[in-house]
Structure 1
Amino acid sequence: MVAIMTGMRTDSPTTRQPVRQLLAASVGNAVEWYDWYAYTFLATYIADQVFPESADDSLVPLLSTFAVFAVGFFMRPVGGLLMGAVADRRGRRAALTVTILLMGGSSLLVGLTPTYAAAGVLAPVVLVVARLLQGLSVGGEFAASTTFLVESAGPGRRGLFSSFQYVSTTAGQLVASGIATVLVDTLSEDRMNGWGWRVPFVLGAVLSLVGFWIRQGAQETRSAEQRRAPRPGLFEALRRHPRESLLIGGITAGGTLAYYTWTSYLPTYAELNTGLDKSDALLAGTLSLAFFGLLQPLGGMLSDRFGRRPLLLFFGVGFALLTVPLLHSLRDSFAVLLLVQCAGMILLTGFTSISAAVNAEIFPPRVRAAGIGFPYSLTVALFGGTAPYVGTLFKDLGHSGLFPWYVAVVCLLSSLVYLRLPETAHKELER
């Protein structure tokens, strides 16, 4: 009766359709990250229209700083906690539905944001609200989709299913980059400033509806026993599982710092420190991202066979030993940058391809989504989100050579956590 009233399918894990489950998580996740990265790629156009330098209102530069640099990452831990709680209380599918609708709504809001010339200070306020919703959605998406992916996997396939977290993230990033590039190359500067920058966000809202439709056909992964159990409190995971929460932070710190350094900041780092042409740096970044996406399922399958810990140590020790020589080897050369990026992507796959599985295997099902969502998103905000700023700060202080050491040390510290991590690849997932 409960299942009929909620519209929830109650099929056992063995009867689920794995392709449909993968598609439901992956398509939605790709749309989420498409919207997130579209803002990043088009931030300069948005700033010109919403935060003009000629604005007289003193709130405008403050809101500009807040919106561009802080809001999204600030809200991600909140989203991880709140949407994780929805996933643990109402079901994984319910949380996935909420996150994609939030992202679609916030994307449309960005696309319809008035210019400062038309609405004054209301324009940056609207954009800040949209970024708040985007951050909330992205933080919640990881908590819900991580849990959903791993719980959807059959025996011996959790690593493989886990890898699609970053396959879809990378796909969303590449599509956003491609659409932004096509618009910039085909439209005049006046058209880009007038309406061109809005197109990807309106498209993102439409894609969110497609993802919503696909997710409506997904099957709930919580067991019948979990659905009958009393609903967990908002902070129950932190209160009852403090060690596991800290463990998520230790596992994630090195991985998220390396990820944002290699996938987002490295082209800028090469420009700042070697004088490499911006277009060459961006092309190298795009090619290495495509290579990175293709590697993820291989990493997941290897972890299912040989265990999670060997891959995590491959990543952590590899970055601890090779970050400094790799970054110091950069020259004013497209080929060198591409090789450095691809080498890092191979190492990074040891973390990204299985992080969803590792996280899900740490917490019991009752608080799994919220238990993952908050500490993971908080660690990403502290280490991953700050990577470009720390690197730029070292450059401004005249010590750019210290940034590779910073990355190496954090990865070494995470490696110490991996050494003591129990092997969970071949154990049955608690449901």
Structure 2
Amino acid sequence: MTPTRTPVRRPARQLLAASVGNAVEWYDWYAYTFLATYIAGQIFPKGSGNSLVPLLSTFAVFAVGFFMRPVGGLLMGAIADRHGRRAALTVTILLMGGSSLLVGLTPTYATAGVLAPVILVAARLLQGLSVGGEFAASTTFLVESAGPGRRGLFSSFQYVSTTAGQLAASGIAAALVASLGTGQMEGWGWRVPFVLGAVLSLVGFWIRRGAQETLPDIGSGTGQPRPGLFDALRRHPRESLLICGITAGGTLAYYTWTSYLPTYAELNAGLTKADALLASTLSLAFFALLQPLGGVLSDRYGRKPLLLFFGLGFAVLSVPLLRSIGGFGTLLLAQCAGMVLLTGFTSISAAVNAEMFPARVRAAGIGFPYSLTVALFGGTAPYVGTLFKDMGHPGLFPWYVSALCLVSSVVYLRLPESAHKELER
């Protein structure tokens, strides 16, 4: 029997369930990034006299990005394929809420000794597991919830909500720093965003509980067993490799333009931290507004034109855009120009990925190769950029971005157009 699913009755509710939950997930994730300086002073103090502390500090920074996100993509994707998208979305948001609360309640090193960094590392590992699984489950859920001719539009809200979470974390952190003294921030102020994140996770959980399941009824009267953990990789190796190729240039450009560019401007153009962060915030807000436009254009004209607009645009313009940065104005222009190009990838990546796999293995098929590629190329972007600077060749980094986007463009050229095909059930 062919699996079928009930048509989505309330697509707006589905969109809200995916977007609000995803925004909360990324708020919790980015809150740590913005408050890391305060956390380090309390959990990883200098001169603690214990050799384990700097080791655990390093592990906390790198383990999640380079290990737990692919694991989360595989495990949570498998849950979504075996037990339903809604079940996976419920698990990811509760996991993120619990780990965020754990960060907020982590004792200081002065109170608990080496146990403090151990608890923090565990919390960050759980957050990485949750974030890796969130993309697999929420993108699948979004695309499957879309009506005919609207998959690109629904897909675009993945990065609308991701950016909203990032901006919320930045804004709340900035407000606390501005309103509290240094002593209060170091004492208890840094904990507030994480406790708030745990509360917001409960709100997201409540919204997601009322969402409609989009997975066809597999494994119950259809004659098809539930998929195994590695079924997607084993049965669809070509599609898994294609997701790596599609994502490599996109994730490098995304993390460069949304996360690393303020640091790049400080290191290579002498901008102040305040100016660099202001330009980044303004460009992120602009970026969020562009996403639905990209999704609508892809539904009308196809996915490939937008992907090629992104890939070839970055291949040609990465070097001149990054070299043009010399002050606040040129940084803001370079960031906004990059955001326009980047929209060709981010607004439709969820749809492009979901359209490659049948429903039976869609979430796990997306989750593992996507998260692994993000870890390899996106998560290492700041490190590679800083490494080139330390080696005395900062001008190589723009060429690195350009080259990888060119490689992805070759993949885009060979992709079949999927915008106007039925989503495989």
TM-score, L = length of structure 2: 0.98
CA deviation profile, 1:111-131 (whole Å, cap 9, x unmatched) = 000000000000000001000
1:257 to 244, 252, 257: 252
Name the amino acid aligned to 1:64.
S
Q: CA shift at 1:227, angstroms?
A: 5.3
Q: 1:282 to 1:294 in 2, by over 3 A?
A: same
Q: Percent identity?
A: 83
Which position in structure 1 is the counterpart of 2:396?
402
Q: 1:21 to 1:77 in 2, by over 3 A?
A: same
Q: CA shift at 1:272, angstroms?
A: 0.3
Q: 1:154 to 1:13 in 2, by over 3 A?
A: farther
| Distance in 2 (alpha carbons) for counterparts of 1:303 and 1:403 | 30
Q: Please tell me whether the aligned partners of residues 218 and 360 of structure 2 are also in contact (alpha carbons under 8 angstroms).
A: no
Which position in structure 2 is the counterpart of 1:313?
308
1:25 to 9, 18, 22: 18
Q: 1:224 to 1:105 in 2, by over 3 A?
A: same
CA deviation profile, 1:83-108 (whole Å, cap 9, x unmatched) = 00000000000000000000000000
C-alpha RMSD of matched pairs (Å): 1.2
Q: 1:198 to 1:318 in 2, by over 3 A?
A: same
Q: CA shift at 1:230, angstroms?
A: 1.2
Q: CA shift at 1:16, angstroms?
A: 1.8
CA deviation profile, 1:126-184 (whole Å, cap 9, x unmatched) = 00100010000000000000100000000000000000000000000000000000001
Which position in structure 2 is the counterpart of 1:6?
none
| Distance in 1 (alpha carbons) for counterparts of 2:423 and 2:228 | 22
| Distance in 1 (alpha carbons) for counterparts of 2:268 and 2:185 | 30
User: Which sections of structure 1, spanning at least 5 residues, go unmatched?
Assistant: 1-9
| Distance in 1 (alpha carbons) for counterparts of 2:145 and 2:9 | 8
Name the amino acid aligned to 2:107.
P
Which position in structure 2 is the counterpart of 1:113?
106
- Where 2:7 maps in the other structure, the secondary structure is helix
2:202 to 205, 209, 219: 209
Q: Please tell me whether the aligned partners of residues 63 and 125 of structure 2 are also in contact (alpha carbons under 8 angstroms).
A: no
Name the amino acid aligned to 2:352.
V
2:376 to 378, 382, 393: 382
Q: CA shift at 1:72, angstroms?
A: 3.7
- Asked whether 1:66 is paired with 2:59, we answer yes
CA deviation profile, 1:191-241 (whole Å, cap 9, x unmatched) = 000000000000000000000000000000012356543110001111111
| Distance in 2 (alpha carbons) for counterparts of 1:15 and 1:202 | 34
What does 1:40-55 correspond to in 2, within 5 Å? 40-55=33-48
- Where 2:32 maps in the other structure, the secondary structure is helix
| Distance in 2 (alpha carbons) for counterparts of 1:212 and 1:78 | 22
- Asked whether 1:368 is paired with 2:362, we answer yes
| Distance in 2 (alpha carbons) for counterparts of 1:350 and 1:126 | 40
User: Which sections of structure 2, spanning at least 5 residues, go unmatched?
Assistant: none
What does 1:23-422 correspond to in 2, within 5 Å? 23-225=16-218, 228=221, 229-331=224-326, 333-422=327-416
Q: 1:226 to 1:23 in 2, by over 3 A?
A: farther
Name the amino acid aligned to 1:155.
P
Q: Please tell me whether the aligned partners of residues 14 and 211 of structure 2 are also in contact (alpha carbons under 8 angstroms).
A: yes
> How many equivalent residue pairs?
421
Q: Please tell me whether the aligned partners of residues 72 and 131 of structure 1 are also in contact (alpha carbons under 8 angstroms).
A: no
Q: 1:227 to 1:78 in 2, by over 3 A?
A: farther
CA deviation profile, 1:281-334 (whole Å, cap 9, x unmatched) = 000000000000000000000000000000000000000000000001110x21
| Distance in 2 (alpha carbons) for counterparts of 1:336 and 1:146 | 34
| Distance in 2 (alpha carbons) for counterparts of 1:165 and 1:348 | 14
Name the amino acid aligned to 1:183.
L
1:425 to 405, 413, 419: 419
Q: Please tell me whether the aligned partners of residues 288 and 345 of structure 1 are also in contact (alpha carbons under 8 angstroms).
A: yes
Q: CA shift at 1:420, angstroms?
A: 0.1
Name the amino acid aligned to 2:245.
G
Q: 1:318 to 1:140 in 2, by over 3 A?
A: same
CA deviation profile, 1:343-371 (whole Å, cap 9, x unmatched) = 00000000000000000000111100000
Deviant stretches of 4+, over 6 Å: none
| Distance in 2 (alpha carbons) for counterparts of 1:16 and 1:194 | 49
- Where 1:19 maps in the other structure, the secondary structure is helix
Q: CA shift at 1:74, angstroms?
A: 1.5
